[in-house]
Structure 1
Amino acid sequence: MIVLSLLAVALLLSSSVTFSPRSEAAAAATSCTTPCQHYDVVVIGSELEGILLAQAAHKLGKSVLILDPRPKPGGQLIQGQMLVLDEPHDAKARSLVQGEMKRLFDGYNNKSIRTFAEFNQYYNGLIKSIPLESGITIQSIHSVQTTPKGSSRSIQSITYKSRDAKTHTVAASYWVENTDFAAIAGRLGLTRIPGTESLFKGGGPAPEYMAATYMLRFKNVNWNELHEATLRDYPLTKLAAKYGPGTYVDWNFGTGFSNLTAKFKPKDTQLKLRGINSTYQRDGRVIINALLIYDVNPSDDKSVQAAIKKAQDEAPRILEFLRKNIPGYSKAQLDTLPDYLYIREHDRYVSEYVLKRDDLMNSRMFWDNVSIGGYPIDVQGTRRFPYGQGLGKPDRYGLPLRSFEIKGIDNLLTAGKNVGAEAAAYGSVRIQPNTGLAAQVIGIIIGREKKPLRELDAADFKRIHQYLKKDYKIQVQA
């Protein structure tokens, strides 16, 4: 056993992914092969959904560590400033937001969480008592074979370099992929679920992604003027004829104006200003989700950074366009801009169950539901198909635990947009409240159940669903 351990250490330090010879001891091991600290859960990345999983498990006494390869925490919500929230509803217009996400959405809707500072305060409250280290670099992943035929493995430990260039090794019972660039899942030789390239006619084998967005923030906007201008053109049919389909402005939100934005000509064909989706924050400040960037590969940092630079260069031109064409923006100025993107589509890898469009459209529920989801199947555009495609409006549907369990890696979970869903279902499943609820529920289950997640059966979930409803006011059954 001493020889075996020394061999494993040597392999760990020399390879990005290491496979040790199978033994019963190795298969059951939860300790490190080198001196290190063991955690119940290690979350890789700091997107909101994985944070919700971490917080739920932490509250129930589990040891949790968050390791973020990004220089600063916050992901799309904070670094990308995706502060325009999409709320899923069922066919009867009932909100499907539950759990911790409901606190965020309630604050958003009642105007107490609208500004960047308020979102940042909310996010920091979630991570307050959980150890989080940003700016890390994963050097190697140590996995062990757990079945005789090698069809399944488990991650035992990882070695990473911290911001101060020191090397650390940590072990965990569960690992969570919570980045938009597959920081851990992308290094394990897993099977990728085909993305948008599988939907639009003529797509090839190369990955194709829904457009990312660069969020735009403005100050000195006269929202009252914008609101009154649209009221003068009521009814909605007249408003749509003048400004474009879906144009609507109330005291908080504004959408549409695609007839106007279609006239904007960006300097680079990788960019497109689509119809506006905006939120009035307060005091003349507005944030807009409208500037699309095509061909952004989230797993390629050069691709992401080039897109950010092009979008930042375009922002002053968009400001001038809005000043001349949109009521209320004549004196607007650019506010502080994000240093990252809102990335809609992540690379996803085959999970124990991969959600399909029929599951959504048929309102399918699962024995291992960890969320109730909903939202139109909104497949955003690509450069080849810049206007995207709608693939239906589901009522409500279940998201099973198995869609967050990576096939072939016993203790690797996914969070957020890493969910296992085919491209035709992903346009709806990807919405943050759907997967945020699932992440929180998975964290609760890790905290309360003694069985490993993959050993839970229908009888266990009947009990789990009961205590979720009773103790957390979370309803994930049909």
Structure 2
Amino acid sequence: MPYIRKSARSWAGIALIAVLSACTPAANTPSTTSEVPSAAPPHSQASDKPAAPPAPAEKPVQQEQADVVLVGSELEGLYLARAAADEGLSVKIIDPRPAFGGQVLQGEMLFLDAVSDGHGKSLHQGRVKELFDGFKNGKIRKLAEFEQYFAKLSQGIPVEQGVSLEQVGAVQGPDGREHVKAVTYTAKDGTRRQLTAQTWVENTDSAELASKLKVKRLPGLEAFYGQERIEYMSAGYMMKFKNVDWKAWMTAFNAMSDAERRKKFGTAYLSESYALVFDGVTKAYKASDDRLFLRGLNAVYQRDGEVLINALLVYDINPADPASVQYALDLGKKEMPLILEHFRKSLPGWEKAELNGFPAHPYIREYNHYETEYTLQVSDMLSGRMFPDNVSIAGYPLDLQGITSNKWGIEMGRPDKYGMPLRSFLLKGYDNIVMAGKNVGSTAIAYGSARIQPNTSLAAESIGVLLAQLHASGKPLTSVTGDDLAKLHQTLASKHGIKLTGVVGDNKLAGWTKEELRKLDSGEINYPSYKRK
């Protein structure tokens, strides 16, 4: 197994153990301890040494059960939870974070990246379409509006925040795969609980569940950039402002000629809702710390003078290390007054702008990539490949955000559309572990596209429906048949309006040789700049 960077977790607790309930005496089993006469001598014969205090009794473990358990409350996995619950399964969410909502609510990453194919047609399907439609039309822009949407997604599903995972109990199935039967955790109030479930979902951005399993880490961006030290895509620090006169900004912008705009703002786009790039402004800003970088703007107007911007990058952050995460927050918060002053001087309508608070968590783009039953490749995406076990139709450029050695990042190609197979969401070696959202199985380069929310949100919803379909038979996701998939696709189309079959993506790799495809997948070929002979 390749080297895995150490985090705040200890690998000493990772080894799988037998389910605790198998070795815990039943509550109604009579104890024989009190029936055995004491072996201690009479008081007159006792030693002068004081008796040792009795060992504190271990806290009892409360037993719980659910059909599906999510570890973490990231948006993408919530679509699986909602779909499974609506289909009649019992679902529970246990979250190591102290507060609900992950990247969106705690990181306040409220600038949503829409997904369309190479012809400009939206690829949004299923429940996630409602969110993106609300964002586009301005009805879901502010944090409170996102919170209302999350509350609707999780309605009726028990959620526990601030849990600490202790032990994972697994057994080996007849096909050689591991089957997780139970997880023991400590609740926020100190209560110890053992939760059994048929299916487990890794839905954190720091692999809280997967890191306690037998996993194989795939090469990350360090392999692509030729460095030995593991480093993930930069995290984002979401910037929040108020008292911005967006209308004045637009008026001044529209009054300029194209040449004047380029001279003052660089490449820039401004509408009633969005401000994009403005790299002439961001390039003129020098961050106070080398681990910070102000790249081109992704700004959204939230109404009432409030603006949210995704542009401040924080490099070399380990999502599984609380100290590293806190360092990112401290760096970003310290930098914000300086950026505000720069914007006041550089952008019309920003003269009276003020800071509008700070996020509780960084926007985490990437953590370890673990081996799944199938690993998505760059060639799958650029060739428009579809799979018999499609659970999503996806798109988006292969956008690799920067790391310390390449702060601007790089784009590795623009697919038309492609399929995402069920197998890319199933942890290899296990028959009941779903890897939701950013945990999707892909190479580090293919991840640049796979990671985008609508892609994996649709997959999660499809898998939630499939879990309910398989529930009565007890069949694991790793044993689905062609008939199971045909039934799933038919149900999704007729009941949910989700089309996963009969879709054709443009093949941008027609005629490529096997060697060229190999180099494309490994990163030796950068598709946008490659000239075939």
Matches within 5 A, 1:108-147: 108-147=135-174
Q: Does 1:306 align with 2:333?
A: no
Alignment-derived partner of residue 35 in structure 2: none
Name the aligned partner's letter for residue 152 of structure 1.
R
Question: Which one of the candidate residues 476, 494, 510 is aligned to 1:452?
Answer: 476
Query: 2: distance between equivalents of 1:212 and 1:182?
Result: 16
* 1:181-216 alpha-carbon deviations (Å, 9 max, x no partner): 11010121310122211222x222x32111110001
Q: Does 1:468 align with 2:492?
A: yes
Matches within 5 A, 1:17-416: 17-20=15-18, 36-147=63-174, 151-200=176-225, 202-204=226-228, 206-235=229-258, 239-240=261-262, 242-245=264-267, 247-416=268-437
Alignment-derived partner of residue 30 in structure 1: none
Name the aligned partner's letter for residue 462 of structure 1.
A
Determine helix, strand or coil for the equivalent of 2:16: strand
Name the aligned partner's letter for residue 231 of structure 2.
E
* 1:75-125 alpha-carbon deviations (Å, 9 max, x no partner): 000000000000011011001111111000111111111111111111111
In structure 2, the gaps of 5 or more residues are: 1-11, 24-60, 504-533
Alignment-derived partner of residue 422 in structure 1: 443
Greater mean alpha carbon deviation, residues 82-91 or residues 254-263: 254-263
Determine helix, strand or coil for the equivalent of 1:17: coil
Aligned residues: 449
Query: 1: distance between equivalents of 2:269 and 2:17?
Result: 57
- Where do 4+ consecutive residues of structure 1 move more than 4 Å? none
Determine helix, strand or coil for the equivalent of 1:36: strand
Q: Are 1:417 and 1:430, in contact at CA under 8 Å, matched by a contact in 2? A: yes
Q: Are 2:220 and 2:230, in contact at CA under 8 Å, matched by a contact in 1? A: yes
Query: 2: distance between equivalents of 1:225 and 1:195?
Result: 44
Query: 2: distance between equivalents of 1:362 and 1:257?
Result: 33
Query: 2: distance between equivalents of 1:228 and 1:419?
Result: 43
In structure 2, relative to structure 1, the CA distance for the partners of 1:463 and 1:189 (3 Å cut) is closer
Q: Are 1:273 and 1:291, in contact at CA under 8 Å, matched by a contact in 2? A: yes
Q: TM-score when scaled to structure 2? A: 0.82
Determine helix, strand or coil for the equivalent of 1:424: coil
Q: Are 1:230 and 1:248, in contact at CA under 8 Å, matched by a contact in 2? A: no
Query: 1: distance between equivalents of 2:277 and 2:72?
Result: 34
Query: 1: distance between equivalents of 2:385 and 2:247?
Result: 44
Name the aligned partner's letter for residue 338 of structure 2.
R
Cα displacement (A) at 1:53: 0.6
Determine helix, strand or coil for the equivalent of 2:311: strand
Name the aligned partner's letter for residue 265 of structure 2.
Y
Name the aligned partner's letter for residue 500 of structure 2.
V
Determine helix, strand or coil for the equivalent of 2:179: strand
Query: 2: distance between equivalents of 1:207 and 1:63?
Result: 39
In structure 2, relative to structure 1, the CA distance for the partners of 1:125 and 1:366 (3 Å cut) is same
Name the aligned partner's letter for residue 107 of structure 2.
G
Cα displacement (A) at 1:447: 1.5
Structure index of larger Rg: 2
Q: TM-score when scaled to structure 1? A: 0.91
Matched residues, percent identical? Answer: 44
Query: 1: distance between equivalents of 2:260 and 2:15?
Result: 60
Name the aligned partner's letter for residue 443 of structure 1.
G
Query: 2: distance between equivalents of 1:321 and 1:147?
Result: 63
* 1:135-173 alpha-carbon deviations (Å, 9 max, x no partner): 00011111112247xx52111101100011110000110
Cα displacement (A) at 1:476: 1.5
Determine helix, strand or coil for the equivalent of 1:84: coil
In structure 1, the gaps of 5 or more residues are: 1-13, 27-33
Determine helix, strand or coil for the equivalent of 1:299: coil
